[in-house]
Amino acid sequence: MIFNSIKHTLIVVVSTLFVMPVAAQDLLANQAPIDSKMKAVDAEMLKQLVEIEEYDSPADELYQDWDNTYAHRETALPDSFRIDLRGFCMPTPSRVITSNFGARWGRQHKGLDIKVYIGDTIRAAFDGKVRVVKYEHRGYGKYVVIRHPNGLETIYGHMSKHLVAENQEVRAGDPIGLGGNTGRSTGSHLHFETRLCGVALNPAIMFDFVNQDVVADTYNFRKDSYEYDGRLATQLRGANGKYGYDPAMVNSPNVGKSRGHGDNAGVSTRYHKVRKGETLSAIARKHGTSVNALCRLNRISKNVRLRPGQILKYN
C-alpha cells in the first residue's frame, strides 16, 4: 500500500513536470503577439516623439556643434528655411532705433542699435539655450548669445551686467542682462543681432521695434533673397533719421523713396503689405500692375506662397 502511494505520487510529480513546460510554452505563444504589438506601438511612439522634437527644434539640422568660445562662425546656409517667429518677446520695450543694419563708418554693422539706458532689463527674444556669456573689450562689451529652436541665434551686446550663465535654458522674456555702454560703444544702447548659421540677418526683417511686434508668424528665409529682404526691411522699419516708420505709410508713394544712392536712386518705390488670403493676382489688380511684374520686382515665382505681413514692391 505504501508502495502504491509512492508510485501515485511519482506519477503526479512527473506528470506535473511534463505539463508545466507545455502550459508555459502556450502562455509564451499567446503572449508573443501582444509583445510584438507593444513593440510596434513603442516604435511608433518613439518615431512620433522624434518627429515632434525635430519639429520643435529645427535648429538641430543647422548646427553640428555646441561651442562656448566664439560669438559666431559662418557655416553653409540652407537654400531655404522657415523661421518660426511665434512665442517671441521683444528684447526691450524701447521703440527707438539709433543705428541700422548695414554699411556704417566704412564697415558693416551686423545688427540694430536700440536705445536703452544703463540698467534697463534686456530679455531673451525666444526660448533657447545660452551658448556664450562673455566680455569683449573692443567689440560687443558684455554680451550674450542664445541659440533658439527656431534656427536663429540672437546676440545682445554692450550690456552692463550679465544675468544668465552659459548652457542655461531660458524662456522668451526671461531677463538675460542689463542695458549698458560696455565695449566699442559711444553711448548706452542694445546692439541686437539675429544670425542663421552664423550669417547676420537684418533683425528688421523679423522685428518691428516701433510697433513692438514681429512682422509675421514666420519668416521664410531664402539664400538668394535675404540680402534684398534686409535692405527692404531697413526702408520700412529702419531709423531713417526719425527712429522708425509709420505703418500708415505702407502703400504710400513716399515709402522707400531713395535719398540719392543705391539701385533705386531717384525712384519713388511703392510697397504693399500682404493681408491674409491675398493672392498675387489680387494684389496686381489692386495696384494696376501684372503678376509677372510683381514676380520680377520681388524676385519670386508665380507659385510662391504669400504670408500675411509680407512686404511686396509693386512699382
CA distances from residue 241 to 100, 143, 208, 279, 306 in whole angstroms, order as listed: 10, 27, 16, 34, 31
Say what the pLDDT of residue 46 is: 61
- In total, how many domains does the chain have? 3
Same domain assignment for residues 76 and 123? yes
Same domain assignment for residues 212 and 121? yes
- Residues 24 and 26: their CA atoms lie apart, in Å, by 5
Same domain assignment for residues 86 and 228? yes
Same domain assignment for residues 269 and 189? no
Same domain assignment for residues 223 and 305? no
CA distances from residue 93 to 21, 115, 210, 218 in whole angstroms, order as listed: 75, 10, 9, 21
Say what the pLDDT of residue 304 is: 87
* Contacts (Cβ under 8 Å, ≥6 apart) of 277: none
Say what the pLDDT of residue 170 is: 97
CA distances from residue 13 to 2, 4, 26, 27, 44 in whole angstroms, order as listed: 17, 14, 20, 21, 46
Exposed / middle / buried, residue 101 (Cβ in 10 Å: 0-12, 13-18, 19+): buried
The CATH number of the domain where 304 resides is what?
3.10.350.10
In the beta sheet, which residues pair with residue 214? 207
Same domain assignment for residues 180 and 197? yes
- Whose cell is 515632434? That residue is 52
What is the bridge-based pairing of β-strands 213-214 and 161-162? unpaired
Which one of 191, 216, 245 terminates a domain? 245
Q: Which residues of the chain carry a pLDDT beneath 50?
A: 2-3, 6, 10, 13-14, 16-19, 51-55, 241-268
In the beta sheet, which residues pair with residue 121? 178
Same domain assignment for residues 28 and 160? no
Same domain assignment for residues 10 and 143? no
Pull the grid cell for residue 226: 535675404
The CATH number of the domain where 207 resides is what?
2.70.70.10
Same domain assignment for residues 144 and 228? yes
Say what the pLDDT of residue 263 is: 34
What is the domain range of residue 283?
248-315
Same domain assignment for residues 33 and 75? no
CA distances from residue 304 to 143, 234, 237 in whole angstroms, order as listed: 38, 23, 24
Count of alpha carbons within 13 angstroms of residue 150, beta-carbon side = 22
User: Is the pTM for the entire model greater than 0.85?
Assistant: no
Same domain assignment for residues 239 and 253? no
Same domain assignment for residues 285 and 192? no
CA distances from residue 88 to 60, 124, 208 in whole angstroms, order as listed: 19, 9, 12
Say what the pLDDT of residue 107 is: 80
Which one of 193, 224, 245 terminates a domain? 245
Say what the pLDDT of residue 2 is: 46
